[in-house]
């Protein structure tokens, strides 16, 4: 990737279909780095493309360095929705959060998060949630410094059905 520019030269915008290749690559890197998982490329590509085509599934926000229309993507954050009957409101889940290694510590995550918070407030969202791999201490620290707290839940899954 290109050399880091000042954070002021970052643009945060919605992900687009022409971002597909980079988003897929970032997700591959994320899975390897955080969970030592090799994702199936075809499945991942179809999943990202489906979301980019159908905003009901979720949305990506991307950080672009330099020129907003042509600069390289240097970070991403996906949101999906959860309805909370207990709180009578929408909660957005942050997923597929990734910042290119050369851009870490340069404010990319903060800018992505601030954009999501602003969009969430406009949409009447009541809060944000995320899950983070248990041993990813750097991510834990970043999220705690950003105002997230341990929600007291353990995430369980049943995959495949």
Picking from 36, 39, 17, the residue whose alpha carbon sits closest to that of residue 28 is 39
Give the pLDDT score at 7: 59
Could you list the pLDDT tens digit for every one of the 161 residues in the chain? 555 655 569 999 999 999 999 999 999 999 999 999 999 999 999 999 999 999 999 999 999 999 888 899 999 999 999 999 999 999 999 999 999 999 999 999 999 999 999 999 999 999 999 999 989 999 999 999 999 999 999 999 999 99
Sign of the CA dihedral running 34, 35, 41, 45: negative
Report pLDDT for 68.
86
| pTM for this prediction | 0.93
Please give the pLDDT value at position 69.
Answer: 83
How many C-alpha atoms does 149 have within 13 Å on its Cβ side?
A: 3
d(CA 81, CA 129): 10
CATH of domain 7-145: 3.40.630.30
Q: How many Å apart are CA 90 and CA 41, to the nearest integer?
A: 31
List of E strands, 45-117 = 59-65, 73-84, 89-99
């Amino acid at each position: 990737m290109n050399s880091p520019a000042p954070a002021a030269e970052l643009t945060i915008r919605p992900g687009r279909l022409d971002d597909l290749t980079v988003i897929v690559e970032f997700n591959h890197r994320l899975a390897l780095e955080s969970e030592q998982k090799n994702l199936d490329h075809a499945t991942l590509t179809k999943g990202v493309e489906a979301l980019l085509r159908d905003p009901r599934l979720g949305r990506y926000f991307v950080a672009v360095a330099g020129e907003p229309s042509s600069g390289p993507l240097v970070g991403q954050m996906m949101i999906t929705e959860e309805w909370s009957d207990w709180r009578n409101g929408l909660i957005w889940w942050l997923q597929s959060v990734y910042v290119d290694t050369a851009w870490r510590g340069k404010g990319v995550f903060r800018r992505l998060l601030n954009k999501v918070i602003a969009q969430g407030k406009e949409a009447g969202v009541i809060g944000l949630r995320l899950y983070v791999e248990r041993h990813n201490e750097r991510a834990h620290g970043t999220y705690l410094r950003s105002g997230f707290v341990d929600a007291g839940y353990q995430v369980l899954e049943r995959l495949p059905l």
